[in-house]
Amino acid sequence: MNAIKPKPGLTQPALTQHRVLKKNQTYSVVVDGLSHEGRGVASLDGQRVFIEGALPGEVVVIKLLNRKKKVWQAQTQSIENHSPDRVTPPCEFADICGGCSLQHMSLEKQHELKQNTSATSLNILASVKLTSLNQS
């Protein structure tokens, strides 16, 4: 079988090189979303990362904890650029208890996240499309 050769003077685009991600290493990422559990979601070298304690729009330094299938779990080590939706948690034990995973997010954004999660779940599981959820 003959290989196709590029014309002289033309170069082929370089293949994207991804570094090998390693457990317990730190990386800087931009958080681009939230999971239904309230964890930040980011992409790191083409792999999805779920980040405890991160909010959309933030630039955070993370520590990779473990990988299941094609998804990494990570913990926020530091926040380089804070989201305007970040607030000081009202409970002094919020960072260690784990019972209230969204206390670092403004109440308005918490409501928005929960409404969007509910609407998405109803759409996927019951084929119900909601245009809005009214607060009572």
In a domain, 136, yes or no: no
CATH number reported for the structural domain that contains residue 74 in this entry: 2.40.50.140
Residue 134 resides in a domain:
no
Tokens 């305007």 belong to which residue? 84
pLDDT at position 133, please? 61
Residue 2 lies in a domain: no
Q: Is residue 121 part of a domain?
A: yes
Q: For residues 111-135, b (16+ Cβ closer than 10 Å) or e, as one string?
A: eebeeeeebeeeeeeeeeeeeeeee
Q: How far is CA 25 from CA 2, 88, 96, 104, 105, in A?
A: 44, 27, 22, 24, 26
Whether residue 86 lies inside any domain: the answer is yes
What does the pLDDT read at residue 29?
96
pTM: 0.73
- Please report, as a single letter, which amino acid is at residue 94: A
Question: pLDDT value at position 99?
Answer: 73
What is the mean pLDDT for each group of 10 consecutive residues in the chain (136 residues)?
48 56 94 89 94 94 93 95 91 78 86 83 80 61
44 inside domain: yes
Number of domains in the chain: 1
Q: Is residue 35 part of a domain?
A: yes
Q: How many CA atoms lie within 13 A of 37 on its CB side?
A: 10
Instruction: Kindly state whether residue 56 falls inside one of the protein's structural domains.
Output: yes
Q: What pLDDT sits at residue 41?
A: 95
User: Residue 68 is part of which domain span?
Assistant: 26-126
